[in-house]
Structure 1
C-alpha cells in the first residue's frame, strides 16, 4: 500500500489507478478495474505514485487485458 511520507514523496505505488492528462492540461484519475473517471487535479501537476496512461502494463484488472 502506498504511503505519503510528509517529505514531498510517496513510498510505494498507488494500485488500481491510472492518470491521464486531459486536453485542458489538467490530470484526471481513472479506476483501472472498471474504467470510470475519478478526480481531477486542479493545479495541473500529476499525482505522485499513480501510473500515467498508457503505462504499457496490462494488469488482470485493466479493461485492455480482456
Structure 2
C-alpha cells in the first residue's frame, strides 16, 4: 500500500496497487474516474475546475488504457 509520509511534503511513496483510473467525459469535459481492481466498482471522480476543461489525475494510481 502507498504511504504519504513524511507529512507535508506532498509526495507519495509507492503506487496504489488495488486501484486504476481511466479518462471519462463529464458534461463535455474530461474527468478521471478511479476504479477498484477487485470488484470493478467505480469509486470516485475528479471533476475539472470551473475554468478548465480537463481534470487532474489521481496521485499514484495506475492508468487504464481506453478500449
Which structure: greater helix fraction? 1
- Is 1:50 equivalent to 2:55 in the alignment? no
After TM superposition, list the pairs within 5 Å mapping 1:1-66 onto structure 2.
1-5=1-5, 6-23=8-25, 24-43=29-48, 44-54=55-65
Q: Which 5+ residue runs of structure 1 have no aligned equivalent? A: 55-66
Deviant stretches of 4+, over 3 Å? none
Structure of greater Rg:
2
Q: Which 5+ residue runs of structure 2 have no aligned equivalent? A: 49-54
- 1:42: Cα distance to partner? 2.0
Which structure: greater strand fraction? 2
TM-score of the superposed pair, with normalisation by structure 2: 0.69
Output the aligned Cα RMSD: 1.4
For the residues of structure 1 that align with 2:32 and 2:62, how far apart are their CA atoms?
12
